[in-house]
Amino acid sequence: MTQSIGFVGLGIMGLPMAKNLLNSGYSVIGYNRSKPRLQEFAKAGGTPAKTIKEVAENAQIVITCLPNSQSVSDVIFQKGGLLEGFQNGSTLIDCSTISPKTTVEIAEKLTNSGVSLLDAPISGGEEGAINGSLSIMVGGDSDLLSQHMDVFKSMGTTITYCGKSGAGQIAKACNQIIVASQMVGVSEAVLLAKKAGADLDSVVSAISQGAASCWTLTNRAPDMIKGDFTPGFFAEYQYKDLCIAVDSGREFGSPMPQTMVAHELYKSMVENGMGKDGNSGVLQILELLAGTTNRAI
Amino acid sequence: MTQSIGFVGLGIMGLPMAKNLLNSGYSVIGYNRSKPRLQEFAKAGGTPAKTIKEVAENAQIVITCLPNSQSVSDVIFQKGGLLEGFQNGSTLIDCSTISPKTTVEIAEKLTNSGVSLLDAPISGGEEGAINGSLSIMVGGDSDLLSQHMDVFKSMGTTITYCGKSGAGQIAKACNQIIVASQMVGVSEAVLLAKKAGADLDSVVSAISQGAASCWTLTNRAPDMIKGDFTPGFFAEYQYKDLCIAVDSGREFGSPMPQTMVAHELYKSMVENGMGKDGNSGVLQILELLAGTTNRAI
C-alpha cells in the first residue's frame, strides 16, 4: 500500500517539496491557507484537505513548512489543528525555521499525546526545494530519523542528524549567523574599497582565493558592487532568522556581539523598506550610515 | 648582467621571499636587524648589507617586508635609512601590511626624491612565502608594476593590480575585515551549538556546503571545536590589521559596525595573553564572556 504523508504549508518551499514526495510515489494529503496553491498541489496529484485536522487523520507522517514559531504552534494546537487529528504513534516533521526553544516545548507537549517531533529546517532555497537537493538539519530521535530517511531523501540530498530535539534548529541558526557575518563583512569591505577609490572588481578578485574566501564573496560581491540586490534570500527572512539566533543566544547564555550588529543592520533594512531586497542589500544600510545616497555603488 | 634587488626585513615572510628571488637568478642584497636571519640569508647566496642605506645604494629595486607602519617609515626616513642611499629612478616595493594613509604619505615624499613606491601587501602565510605562491595586492603606477612583473612572479602566483597608491593596502584591509568576520561568526555559531547541546561536528558538517560555506568553517572550525588554536595567523597580527581597517574606516568615512566588534574581541585576546594563539582563538573570548572557564570546548 502506498504510504500516506501529510503536508501543511504549500508555500514557495513547501509546494515543490510536496511535489517531490508525489514524484517519489508517496500519496500526499495537503493543506494550505491560500487556495490557489492548494489547487496547484491537487493538479500535481496531491489530495487537498479541507481542514488541518483532516491531514493528521489521514497520514502517520505529517510535514509542516511554515513561516514562523507562532504559525507552527497554531497549526498544531489551535482548534481544528493537527493535534485533534493525530493518530497515536504519528511523526511530525517540522521543516520550518523556528525557535529552538519553541521546538523543544512543542516536542514535549506532543510526546504526551504519543506524537514524535523531528525538527528539520532546510536550506538551499527555492531551487533546492524544486530539485530535491535541500540540505536538511535534523534534531530529535535518531532512530526515528533513520526510519523515515526515505521521506527525507525525497526532498533533500544532505540529511544531517545534529542531536536531540531542537538541534536541527540550532544548526540552522548557526548557518544564518555565519551567512550574516559574511554579508556584513563583505559589505564593510566593499564600501571601504569604494570610498578609498580602489578598483572594486580587482579587490574582490585579489582576495577571493585566500583565507577571506566565502560563498558571499564569490556569489554576491560582484552584484553588490553593481548595486544589484536582487533577492536570493529576502532581507526580512534574514532578519527573522537573526532574531531567532539572538533569542537563542539569550536562552542558552551564548554571547553574540557580532551577530547583534547584523541583527540591527537587518532590522534597519526592514524599517527602511528594503525587506524584500536580497540579504546582500545590507550594504545599503552602510551607505546610509556613510551618508551616501546613491543606491548603486 | 644579473639584476640586483635589495631586501629589508628577512623575517618569517621576508627570508623565504628573498630566497625565491635568489632561486630565480636575481642578485639580492639584504638587511635584517637580527643577525642570525641575515646569516641564513647569506648561506642561501644572498649578500648581507651592513647598513640599510647600503641596500638602496646597490639596487634599483628595493623590497621591504616589515611589521608595521612605523617600521616602514623608519627604515626609509631614519638617519642611515633607504632614502640616503636611493638612486634616482629607483622603485620601492613595500610588501608590509601597513596603513593605506601612511602608504600614500610615503609615496608622495618618495616621489619628490625620484623614487616610486608600489604598495604590495601579501597573503598566503609562511607556506605561501616558501612556495612562492603568495597572493600580492598592488597599488601605485600600473606601468611600473608591469615593468617589474617578473620580480613579483618570483614571489607569488596571484598578482592583482588594485588601483592607485594605497589600493593594495586597502585590498589587504578588506581581506582582513572578511577573515575576522568569518572567525567571529564561526565562533559565535560554534559556541551557541555547544551551549545548546547540539552535536558540534554534525552542525559544522551540515552547514559547510551551503551559503555559510567559507574558508574558516572548512579549515578552522574542526580544530576550534577541539579547543586547538594553534596559530596559522597570530591573533596579535589580526588585531594589528583590524586596527588598520578601523583607522581606514575613519580616514575614508566608511562605517564598520561589525569590524569594530571584531577589533574589540581581538584586542581582548591580546590583553588576555592570547596574542600568540591563532586568530581562531577568538572563540576563547566569547567563552570568557559566557563565563566558561574551560579552554577546550
Q: What is the pTM of this model?
A: 0.96
Which among A50, A101, A153, A172 is annotated as catalytic?
Answer: A172
Answer yes or no: is pLDDT of A294 > 90: no
Which among B19, B53, B172, B240 is annotated as catalytic?
Answer: B172
* Interface with chain B: mutation pick from A104, A131, A152, A177, highest number of B CBs within 10 Å: A177
Answer yes or no: is pLDDT of B29 > 80: yes
Q: Distance between CA B3 and CA A26 in Å, rounded?
A: 74
% of residues, chain B, pLDDT over 70: 98
Q: How far is CA B103 from CA B31, B70, B116, B134, in A?
A: 21, 11, 12, 21
Smallest Cβ–Cβ distance between A162 and the set B162, B181, B203 belongs to B203
User: Which residues of A fall within a CB distance of 8 Å from B207?
Assistant: 123, 135, 137, 171, 174-175, 178
Q: Which three cell numbers stand for residue A171?
A: 544548526
Q: Distance between CA A3 and CA A256 in Å, rounded?
A: 44
In this prediction, residue A2 carries a pLDDT of 81
- B77 — phi, psi (to 5°)? -100, -10
Q: How far is CA B272 from CA A50, A120, A283, B105, B285, in A?
A: 62, 40, 33, 34, 9
Question: Which residues make beta-bridge pairs with A29?
Answer: A6, A47
- A144 — phi, psi (to 5°)? -65, -40
Q: Which three cell numbers stand for residue A100?
A: 529552538
Question: Which residues make beta-bridge pairs with B135?
Answer: B123, B158
CA distance A194 to chain B (A): 9
Are the Cβ atoms of B203 and A171 closer than 8 angstroms?
yes
- A220 — phi, psi (to 5°)? -120, -30
In this prediction, residue B1 carries a pLDDT of 63
Interval B221-259: pLDDT, tens: 999 999 999 999 999 999 999 999 999 999 999 999 999
Answer yes or no: is pLDDT of B295 > 80: no
Q: Which three cell numbers stand for residue B148?
A: 617589474
In this prediction, residue A111 carries a pLDDT of 97
Answer yes or no: is pLDDT of B294 > 70: no
User: Which residues of B fall within a CB distance of 8 Å from A246?
Assistant: none
DSSP string, A240-288: HHHHHHHHHHHHHT---HHHHHHHHHHHHHHHTT-TTSBGGGGHHHHHH
Q: Averaged over B29-47, what is the pLDDT?
A: 97
Q: Distance between CA A235 and CA A267 in Å, rounded?
A: 9
Answer yes or no: is pLDDT of B293 > 90: no
Res. B180 pLDDT band, cuts 50 70 90: very high
In this prediction, residue A40 carries a pLDDT of 97
Interval B62-89: pLDDT, tens: 999 999 999 999 999 999 999 999 999 9
What's the one-letter identity of residue A194? K
Are the Cβ atoms of A195 and B252 closer than 8 angstroms?
yes
Task: Clarify whether B172 is annotated catalytic.
Answer: yes
Q: Which three cell numbers stand for residue B233?
A: 595567523
Are the Cβ atoms of B210 and A254 closer than 8 angstroms?
no
Q: How far is CA B267 from CA A53, A185, B261, B262, B273, in A?
A: 56, 18, 10, 8, 10
Res. B55 pLDDT band, cuts 50 70 90: very high
Q: Distance between CA B52 and CA B65 in Å, rounded?
A: 13
Answer yes or no: is pLDDT of B297 > 60: no
Are the Cβ atoms of B254 and A210 closer than 8 angstroms?
no
Are the Cβ atoms of B196 and A259 closer than 8 angstroms?
no
